[in-house]
Structure 1
């Protein structure tokens, strides 16, 4: 019987086979079932002997063989089949109390042997199939555990390597002369550190998504601390939103660039103010991420597509990568707005 045949069994039978599999390996249970089944079957047949016409010697023994094989396994089933056949032959097939074969006795005995053989064979085949299915399930679970461990180790190593690269860039920036070079390396270090942080948050293979709301709440203070911008107030109004791993890194980088840009240009020269981040999902499923500051706003005639700023080029490139749209405007300061949609669940 193939595995698909076992799965096609009625659910109660399949569950019974699975739940009694460990009992069939206990000799005391096996032979206790066998003895009990034979005694009950013989007692019932003996008690019904006066009520039954001649020709039903195996009436109660067939269920005993089937139930014993089902619950106790192959050898107890065979033992009950043999004992039942001999008891029927001796007590209930004429001439009674003898093992002589006369008349239709050989045909009845042959019929009994054929029926119980088929029953035992089919039930044993079912047992083998269920046991094989159990072994394959255990093997699959072992492979899954091994995959998860390897995945976690890979994510851990990637995160550590990124953290090392970030630290090297940060150390190198301190050795450079000139603010432009230092700023470039600091920004590169921050971006790599961000990717490392997201990788750590996604190291669990059973949780291949990231809640963007708490991430945004922590991102601003981290960036302001790295920039020494303790003069800025940070406000977040974000709805809980789980984004898949494929979107987590690009969205994290976009948010980092927009917040960093606001810190650098909206609050230059230690200007105090408020930086606001909003995340909401509209009724049509579109997600809107807004970063706003109350600074001087975008320069007149500014075009993001022609900007030579690396951060803005990263924003535009990643926006295109996730199939979103980016816009900016002045509204009591600079406002940046990213719109995107979450992928449809598989």
Structure 2
């Protein structure tokens, strides 16, 4: 069965026009029947027109079933009257007339009953199709849908689908809820205003309010009103109310709601707890009853201002149930409570703050007394960073009054290059609530420059709130002048130390030159080689001093730069037939002179040894130098080559070569250890501690 038209479309013809036409026709037919009956009775032919009385009976019954019954009775008596007046005194005619009378009445009742059913059906159809609610019928036992209106199809999105014959479980979202609904419906026969969730064609949910009743044939008529929007609003209101109640009861400060006449309407848990009054007693009081006597009128005046302005923050003094006075800060706002204008007042106990303010005032007095005894003295600023006190000596230096210092105007005494930076740093300290430790130059009223050390820290109350900043100004002009002289002296000493390192390096260069010159005057190759080795050793030490006077830190050199330079010079000074590749992997750390010279000599000896012996009769080779500083402050030096390796019986402790002996001495000088591995070449692993 297809759904009937949606409400608003013409489903039934104009009933008013049909009723008028039927009534007119019934009247005309009745008159015509009476005239024909009179005519027929006068002429002795009564049976011909008697059947025509049924037509007006049908029309009147169609208009109104109840009126059809009365009309039939009246029409029957009228026919009997006509027979009596115009008919002959014939028993057969009278019997026939009475028979027709009962026929009229019986037909009228039947027709009226049938018409009544038609009217009921028409009204049911109008209600079914025109209802704003979704209406459908289903069998209580089979749960199959029989009829449904277009509103149901529209709500559930089944506009293009016929729901007739479908199981109601198709649209009922919760099977357990459906089972309970059917069980209750079978027992009670009727369910009113039950909320349920229907499932739409696209799988989404829609909340409906259901009313259902069971007819005599186990047919259930169910109407459902879409209450999804109302449900959502109701849920949001309920959630908002729960959140409000939680916030209201869990707030850390007392909250009291009262009307404009100060009558308390509601109070939260902390208000009951701190006031000491039971909730019932508290809500029977006026808000001003919580004030001490001398503050009552002040609170009334503030409440009148709240009523006029909408919000106000003020301070007063309350008392609790035991009579103890409590200084409070009240933040009051106008709002609507249960549909009526009211005031919500948040009451904060400021007893500790008042004590802190009193203590601060006492301390400020002490600071003022102390500040007058300190050159440039003590300063105090409020939480916003504005000076509230400066010692007279500092004001005298500025040539300004305390009022003239407001708004950071005192910073105009700073040099132009420092003013913006100092202003920004002070504003940042105030923003984050940090400590102030600052040096700046300041010009006094006579134009003389002073160096000021300003130190201060935030002062907080018991709740951690910053209430002021307190600090001192110290004149450090003499100290800065001394530091400047000291820095100049240190600069001179640095120049002298660099000059010393430079001259030591030059002297070693001279020694290296003498050794090279001497080697030209000897014909002994062994002697020449020994002189060359001595020259390289001197050059490695000279390189340390060269790096030292070039370094920013006179006591340290960068070991990576030093070793790379040392390797580079060895490559240039040593002529080898093989193609040697150097791989240098050294961590960039600084070492002092006590490590640099022995380390450089060790590397010089080991590289020289590899270049002389490792690649004999080989076309190419690789030498690797690695240096690492471990977290336990141990240096790990590794010098390796992939040459032919050391002899099998080699023992560094018993070797007679000067180079290896020198390596052992230098390793001991560094406080380290040495290990040798001779597989596929030679590796010297040396470990020694970092020196500070």
TM-score, scaled relative to structure 2 = 0.32
1:254 touches 1:315 (CA, 8 Å); kept in 2?
A: yes
Equivalent in the alignment of 2:488: 142
1:137-216 residue pairs with structure 2 within 5 A?
137-203=483-549, 204=551, 206-216=553-563
Q: CA deviation at 1:38?
A: 12
Q: In the alignment, what sits opposite 2:68?
A: none
SS of residue in 2 equivalent to 1:328: strand
Task: Give the C-alpha shift of residue 144 in structure 1.
Answer: 0.5
Q: Which moved more, 1:175-184 or 1:230-239?
A: 230-239
Residue 265 of structure 1 deviates from its aligned partner by: 1.1
Conserved 8 A contact 2:667-2:674: yes
Q: Distance in 1 between matches of 2:671 and 2:485?
A: 40
Asked whether 1:297 is paired with 2:645, we answer yes
* Conservation of the 8 A alpha-carbon contact between 1:152 and 1:205: no
Q: Secondary structure at the match of 1:304?
A: coil
SS at match of 2:653: helix
Are residues 10 and 172 of structure 1, via their aligned partners in 2, closer, same or farther at CA, if it must alter by over 3 Å? farther
Mapped to 1, the partners of 2:401 and 2:663 lie a distance apart of 76
Alignment of 1:200-239 (within 5 A): 200-203=546-549, 204=551, 206-229=553-576, 231-239=579-587
In 2, distance between residues paired with 1:250 and 1:174?
A: 28
Q: For residue 607 of structure 2, what is the aligned residue in structure 1?
A: 259
Instruction: Tell whether the 8 Å contact from 1:298 to 1:329 is kept in structure 2 after alignment.
Output: no
Q: Structure 2: any 5+ residue segments left out of the alignment?
A: 1-373, 381-393, 405-442, 447-472
Q: Which has the higher contact order (CA 8 A, sep 6+)?
A: 1
Of the three residues 242, 245, 248, the one matched with 2:590 is 242
> In structure 2, do the counterparts of structure 1 residues 223 and 139 end up closer, same or farther at CA, with 3 Å as the change threshold?
same
Please give the per-residue CA displacement for 1:130-152, whole angstroms capped at 9, x wherever unaligned: 34323322221121111111111
C-alpha offsets along residues 6-36 of structure 1, whole Å, 9 cap, x if unaligned? 99x8899xxxxxxxxxxx9xxxxx99x65x6
Moved more, 205-214 or 301-310: 205-214
Distance across 2 between alignment mates of 1:172 and 1:279:
35
Structure 1 distance, partners of 2:499, 2:587, is 32
User: How far apart are 1:225 and its partner, in Å?
Assistant: 2.2
Structure 1 residues 38 and 286, CA gap change in structure 2 (3 angstroms) = closer
RMSD, aligned CA: 3.3
Looking at structure 1, the residues matched to 517 and 609 of structure 2 have their Cα atoms a distance apart, in angstroms, of 23
Aligned counterpart in structure 2 of residue 281 of structure 1, from 629, 640, 645? 629
* Alpha-carbon offset, residue 171 of structure 1: 1.4
Counterparts of 1:164 and 1:317, CA distance in 2: 26
Q: Structure 1 residues 131 and 233 mapped into 2: Cα distance closer, same or farther (>3 Å)?
A: closer
Match of 1:272 in 2: 620
CA deviation after TM superposition for structure 1 residue 219, in Å? 2.7
Paired with 2:544 and 2:378, the residues of 1 have a C-alpha distance of 47
In 2, are the aligned partners of 1:277 and 1:292 still within 8 Å (CA)? yes
Instruction: Give the structure 2 partner of residue 327 of structure 1.
Output: 675
Q: Which residue of 2 aligns with 1:340?
A: 688
Q: How far 1:228 sits from its partner (Å)?
A: 1.0
Q: 2-side partners of 1:133 and 1:248: how far apart?
A: 38
Task: Check 1:39–1:299 CA distance in 2 against 1; reply closer, same or farther (3 A cut).
Answer: closer
Q: Deviations over 1:267-294 (max 9, x none)?
A: 2356521112222334544322111112
The structure in which a higher percent of residues are helix is 1
Name the residue aligned to 1:307: 655
- Is the Cα–Cα contact under 8 Å of residues 148 and 205 in structure 1 kept in the other structure? no
Structure of higher CA gyration radius: 2
- Higher strand proportion: 2
Distance verdict in 2 for CA 1:10–1:334, change over 3 Å: farther
Deviation beyond 3 Å, 4+ runs, structure 1: 9-12, 36-40, 70-73, 281-285
The answer as to whether partners of 2:556 and 2:593 remain within 8 angstroms in 1 is yes
1:332–1:11 CA distance, 2 compared to 1 (3 A): farther
The 3-state SS of whatever aligns with 1:243 is: strand
Contact 2:676 2:684 in 1 (8 A): yes
179-188 or 196-205, larger mean C-alpha shift: 196-205
Structure 1 residues 296 and 136: alpha-carbon distance in aligned structure 2, compared to 1, 3 A threshold: same
Match of 1:237, SS state, is strand
Q: Distance in 2 between matches of 1:175 and 1:234?
A: 33
Q: Deviation of residue 240 (structure 1)?
A: 2.4
